[in-house]
Amino acid sequence: MADAGAVIAAVRHSEHARHHSLTGFALAFIVLGLLFAAVAAWRGDVFFFRLATEALIFGGLALSVDVLLGYTGMLSLGQALFFGLGAYVSALVLKNVLPSFWLAMAVTLAVATLAGFVAAVISTRARGVYFALITFGLAQVVAKVVFNTPSLGASDGIIGIPVITIDLVAFDVDTASAAAFFLFCLAFVMALYFLCAYLARTPAGRVLAAIRSNEDRVPFLGYPVGLVKVLAFVLAADVAALSGALYPMLRGFVSPELLYFEVSGNAVITVIIGGMGTLIGPLYGSVLIVGLKSVIGSYTTHHLIVIGTLFVFAVIFFPQGLVGYFKPPLERRLAARRAAVRA
Amino acid sequence: MHGLIDALQFIFAPQIVNGLSIGVAVILMALGLTIIFGLLDVINMAHGEFYALGAYLAVSLLAAGVSFWLCLIIVPVLMLPVGYVVERLLIQRVFDRRDRHVLTLLLTFGLGVVLEDAFRLIFGPNTVRMETPIGGAADVFGMYFPNYRLFVMAIGAVIIAVTWVVIFRTRIGAMVRAAAHDRQMASSLGVPVARVYSATFAFGIGLAGLAGVLLAPIYSVFPTMGKDFILLAFTVVIVGGMGSIKGAVIAGIVLMQVQALASLYISPVWTEPLLFGVMVLVLMWRPQGLFGKLGNG
Amino acid sequence: MHRKSAVTLLVAACALGVSASLLAQGNPIKIGVDTPLSGTYAPIAQQVKWGLELAAKEINAAGGVMGRQLQLIYEDGEANPAVATQKAEKLFQVDKVDFLTGTVNSGATLAVGQVAERNHRLMATTVSFADSITGDKCSPNVYRVNAKAGQQSAALAAWLVQAKPKARVFFLGPDYEMGRSTVAAFKSAAEEKGAVTVGEVFAPLGNKDYSPFFGQIRAARPDVLYTSVAGNDTVRLFSQLDEYGLLKGGMQVVGASGTVTSQNMGAIKKAAEGFVTGVGYSPEIDTPENKQFVKAFEAANKALPDLYGADSYGVLYFYKAAVEKAHTTDADKLRAAMADLEWKTPQGTKKMRAGDHQAIQDMYAVKLSGGEFRIISKVPGAAAIGADECKRF
């Protein structure tokens, strides 16, 4: 019988390796982002900055999907609901109340938490496919409501969201400046990532991982499965909504399309291609997908066939995604280095 | 009194009959879906796109001069190998993994995306209308009802009955149910489980394709038509019970009647969310639906 | 990680490629076309493309605009505002277009209009007919050369009051902003002229089965059915109306201009026979300019032009007239030149109202006969235009 202590040490060891390799990917992402910013700024570019910012914003949405899917095993097909909710709330606050970033974010957070809680109570009772269908249906219903509400701009959405200045204590970020806003969003989304990564390593986060492995056993270990699932759902809702809140600041408008299934589905595709369960994978995936769409879009209007096929391919052959694929070699290298240091 | 009869004749009765007609359409879609889930435990997110594939195949055959009635037979037959191959090549690859439910859902979702865009690529984004094969209408008690829809209702009932018979009264059906109930045991008793799985999926897809052909003259053919019925079909399957044919039929009829009559009082836009609400309630309080799994009829 | 660098390199390569092609062609005036080349509006975008290309060819052959050739650059806006704005930004920033057109649905036009404002350049729509674009959501950088919903309703209502005075009208619209507002606009125009509303029902957008509403329609026994559904919905509505025998018995079907178009006419076939709507263009318009235009269009594309093709053809001439008046492509000077600018189009002379950037033009009621729209009445521009509701400038 294996020595209990050795088993625990081994688990902890692999966890450390995982954590370190994922942090490595996260840091690499930041570095690449900064490199990109430097090149683009030098060329005085605006379009690619905004495109990259969009990739980051939708990456945040994908991150929220991964929190549920990769960690808890709950597939949400309606995460666009919270993304769009955040976008609309932010747009309404900025346009009609006060063009203040902090106010918009605060209100978005409050509304998303409340909505997330309500949705969680409804949907987390169900599992697997049923959960997916409920989230799908919820998003459809809310999209329909928004589409038919004249005070929310109905089918045309809301335009005329003003350019704002984000008041950070040390300096200001002007959303009209493509470069500055890009860097801000990079920081913002990475902050969301690190928050989620941190929460995943807390005891509550581990319960989530346990739920994913075998949900039926967890209550016997004394953990409140229902509560933890609700918390995870609300967290994901908040992350999606906060990311969505950035959208009107970038584009100056919101429209019901932001709540449609295409957006939710796209986020799921991004998670799988980037790396389910890694949290940083979806961010890489988002950059890849947004870039691919833009490039392919110049050649053919049928980019969905390409991305769809890529996705099916990934599900069958590379379900661990981009980051998941490159993680083991990195982990091994880090482990080898640690062993060498110790020796 | 006159007002009541008028209302009954012009408003309620047609609404009920309409509800039945739409109900048959949804049930045909739900039937394939529930069988695939009941046996394979696979949620086929591409079911709507196979429905569309059936319709597009019919369009192509009609253009080549084949008669509509022949299409009703040829198209499902053509769909069978398609379903078989999809199950064999794609679904079985992810079947033995731990995350099977999620992966098959994602897989079929991706397949649906590709199929829909493929339709757009091959047939163009425009709507194609199919001539109604049986023209004219019947005048029943002052209610005017198209003959073709009556035909669809009749054929739909026949299809449902045949499906039930095949699954519950034939040897093949017994094998299918056995494999659904206990895969290992069935296999050890000589049931070629892998082939049964593929064949069942093929059968479900064939049903979807047949529905596509039947309904094309009423609802027309265009690339996103798969999305028309899919949410309703899922609702029916869930409320009726995943894997239950009886459930799909009863839930289909009841839910479509609810929708038809509700649309008289509330704005029709809200009837689908209403049904969705029913689905959520069922999922919360009786997740196995009205009639549970395939084994229970 | 390797892929990210590849993407950056690819991006840089694209930018270089674009600049290289720029240098290769002299100094053309670039017109960005942000139009839904894919999806349900693709046939409309096709007509837009045909119209633009014919005009560009003619203008370039005659020496261009102020000696510079016109160059059209296309991007697929997918009729989704989020995508359309991204592509618009690409056109303005990367391709550095001087002017932008091609948006089809109103949400995209409004959102792209904002992008135009932020890039200090002008754009025009040749398709979107939502009143709000030159009404409460007007923009100093957005122009509309086609007729708006209000003008179309005016033409239709004027014809209706002649053809069927005091008609009983039943309204069936798609339940969304555009659907409801077109129904409301026509309803008020018609009621003012003596028509009676006998029923109003809104079906969900993308509704598959309209038969649940037929009971009500039958009970109301209307003379006229007004509908503002579009695209696939029209095909279904009309074929189901036909199925249920509602198209016999003399009920006149009228509707919005977007209801029956080249996109769905082929599918609806005979069921749409007799449909009447109000439009700003018909290939039948009897002027020498139009006859010449139709002939050239048909020769180039083997299809008749519809309102989208004709208005897209007209927009380049509008731009040309403005640039020649202002002697520059600078946005502010162009805007001044465009104020109350008159220019020739196949439909006659149009005037661009300065107050709201809406083109004033004669309107027609047309009826679908034998697969083609025939003119059955005409309303002069001043009568159809309606009030200037733009308060922003």
Q: How far is A321 from chain C (nearest CA, A)?
A: 13
* Residue with the two structure tokens 């605009």: C65
SS (H, E, C) B143-200: EEEEHHHHHHHHHHHHHHHHHHHHHHHCHHHHHHHHHHHCHHHHHHCCCCHHHHHHHH
Q: Where are the alpha helices (DSSP H) in chain A?
A: 4-42, 47-66, 72, 80-92, 101-123, 128-147, 178-200, 203-214, 225-251, 261-274, 281-297, 303-317, 321-342
Per the model's pLDDT, the better-predicted residue between B47 and B192 turns out to be B47
pLDDT for position B143:
72
pLDDT for position B204:
92
Tell whether the model's pLDDT for residue B4 goes beyond 80: no
Angle subtended at Cα A136 by Cα A131 and Cα A137, rounded to the nearest 5 degrees: 100
Band the pLDDT of C22: cuts 50, 70, 90.
Answer: very low
Question: Best interface-test mutation with A: which of C2, C5, C7 has the largest number of A CBs within 10 A?
Answer: C7
Q: Where are the alpha helices (DSSP H) in C175-306?
A: 177-192, 211-220, 231-243, 262-268, 288-301
pLDDT for position C21:
44
Q: Identify the closest residue of chain C to A26 by CA–CA distance.
A: C1
B93 shares its domain with B234? no
B62 neighbors B216 (Cβ within 8 angstroms): no
Tell whether the model's pLDDT for residue B294 goes beyond 50: no
Classify strands C99-101 and C122-125 as parallel, antiparallel or unpaired. parallel
| Residue of B107, B118, B121 lying closest to A316 (CB–CB) | B107
Q: What distance in Å separates the CA atoms of residue C313 and residue A143, rounded to the nearest whole number?
A: 37
Tell whether the model's pLDDT for residue A202 goes beyond 50: yes
C106 neighbors C128 (Cβ within 8 angstroms): yes
B148 shares its domain with B179? yes
pLDDT for position B111:
93
Structural domain count of chain B: 2
> Does residue A97 lie in a domain region?
yes
Q: Identify the closest residue of chain C to A162 by CA–CA distance.
A: C114
**ipTM of the complex model:** 0.82
Mean residue pLDDT of chain B comes to 85
Domain end point (choices B223, B239, B263): B223
| Residue of A122, A144, A311 lying closest to B110 (CB–CB) | A311
B231 shares its domain with B214? no
B196 shares its domain with B242? no
> Does residue A41 lie in a domain region?
yes
Per the model's pLDDT, the better-predicted residue between B17 and C169 turns out to be C169
> Does residue A112 lie in a domain region?
yes
Q: What distance in Å separates the CA atoms of residue B113 and residue A249, rounded to the nearest whole number?
A: 30
Average pLDDT (A281-303) is 87
- Which subunits have 3 or more CB–CB pairs within 8 Å of chain C? A, B
When mean pLDDT is compared over B172-181, B239-248, B266-275, C338-347, the highest value belongs to C338-347
Band the pLDDT of C2: cuts 50, 70, 90.
Answer: low
Band the pLDDT of B297: cuts 50, 70, 90.
Answer: very low
> Does residue B2 lie in a domain region?
no
What are φ and ψ of residue C349, in 5° steps? -90, 130
Band the pLDDT of B224: cuts 50, 70, 90.
Answer: confident
Chain pair B-C, CB pairs under 8 angstroms: 92
B284 shares its domain with B180? no
List C-alpha distances in Å: A150 to A157, B217, B263, C175, C388.
9, 35, 22, 11, 22
Structural domain count of chain A: 1
Interface list for chain C against chain B, based on CB atoms closer than 8 Å: 38-40, 42-43, 175, 201-204, 206-209, 211-216, 218-219, 231-232, 235-236, 239-240, 243-245, 263-264, 266-269
C192 neighbors C246 (Cβ within 8 angstroms): no
Long-range contacts of C267-271 (CB under 8 A, 24+ apart): C267/B126, C267/B127, C267/B128, C267/B129, C267/B220, C267/C235, C268/B129, C268/C234, C268/C235, C268/C238, C268/C239, C269/B129, C269/C371, C270/C242, C271/C238, C271/C239, C271/C241, C271/C242, C271/C247
Which tens digits make up the pLDDT trace of C97-106? 999 999 998 8
> Does residue B3 lie in a domain region?
no
Please give the DSSP secondary-structure letter assigned to residue A257.
G
> Does residue A3 lie in a domain region?
no
Band the pLDDT of C3: cuts 50, 70, 90.
Answer: low
Which tens digits make up the pLDDT trace of A53-102? 999 999 999 999 999 998 888 899 999 999 999 999 999 999 999 888 99
Q: How far is A260 from chain B (nearest CA, A)?
A: 13
Domain that holds residue B291: 226-297
B67 shares its domain with B207? yes
> Does residue A5 lie in a domain region?
no
B233 shares its domain with B217? no
- Return the CATH number at A64: 1.10.3470
Domain end point (choices B223, B240, B259): B223
A109 neighbors A240 (Cβ within 8 angstroms): no
B82 shares its domain with B204? yes
